[in-house]
Chains A and B, each alone.
Chain A
Amino acid sequence: DQQVKQNSPSLSVQEGRISILNCDYTNSMFDYFLWYKKYPAEGPTFLISISSIKDKNEDGRFTVFLNKSAKHLSLHIVPSQPGDSAVYFCAARDLSGGYNKLIFGAGTRLAVHP
């Protein structure tokens, strides 16, 4: 059973509007979360992260919100640009077994159209 879930496989947004990508997790022991962005034919690249001691982290047009009680995080992109069109992966840090590993969601494909 997936511990990190991205229930929307795709999202289409108009340029200039807000994009909201959602992620849910099941393990309350996860204490650090990351978003990765992936373009076709390239590896994922780190976008933004948040520690579980915070509820918001902002970096330019990108903001990640964390709701620990709901085990939910979201990535907001404002304003959305065509270059933001990519697959976005949510990931959670898993420290079980004494090793630092990342558990990834299935990804959400964002399409930003003019």
Chain B
Amino acid sequence: DADVTQTPRNRITKTGKRIMLECSQTKGHDRMYWYRQDPGLGLRLIYYSFDVKDINKGEISDGYSVSRQAQAKFSLSLESAIPNQTALYFCATSDKQGVSDNEQFFGPGTRLTVL
């Protein structure tokens, strides 16, 4: 079984709709992240959470919100989706202990298309 899972894997929606992307992990890590990948721009950080009560904005948080429901769950919401939010979205986790903190483990991604 995968350690970091994302649902849905693919989603097509319309402009103005609310969308939630979900991430679950079984690694027992405290830290979770949401990224988006766009061609030519690599992975950009949207939000990150270092524990259930600690949530921070990343590089490109406008238009997004998150919820850390439990240590193992971190969801990303688009309150009113727009076409330029069409991208590949990745969830990641990391362990806070020592050098392991530097390595992040990624889910398989969610491909979101906003029409």
Contact surface of A with B, Cβ cutoff 8 Å: 4, 6, 9, 32, 34, 36, 41-46, 49, 89, 91, 93, 97, 99-107
What sequence of 0s and 1s flags, for each residue 33-48 of chain B, a beta carbon within 8 Å of any chain A beta carbon?
A: 0010000111111001
Which residues of B are interface residues toward A (Cβ below 8 A)? 4, 31, 35, 40-45, 48, 50, 56, 58, 90, 92, 94, 101-109
Tell which of B41, B50, B104 touches A106, judged by Cβ atoms closer than 8 Å: B41
* Residues from chain A with Cβ under 8 Å of B56 in the complex: 97, 99
Please indicate the chain B residues that have their CB under 8 angstroms from the CB of A49 in the complex: 102-103
Interface centre among A4, A89, A101 (most CB of B within 10 A): A101
Query: Could you list some 8 contacts between A and B, CB below 8 A?
Result: A34-B102, A42-B108, A43-B106, A43-B109, A45-B106, A97-B56, A106-B40, A106-B42
Output the least CB separation between A64 and chain B (Å). Answer: 13
Residues of B within 8 A of A107 (CB): 42
In the bound complex, CA of A58 to CA of B40 (Å): 28
What A residues does B101 contact at CB under 8 A? 100
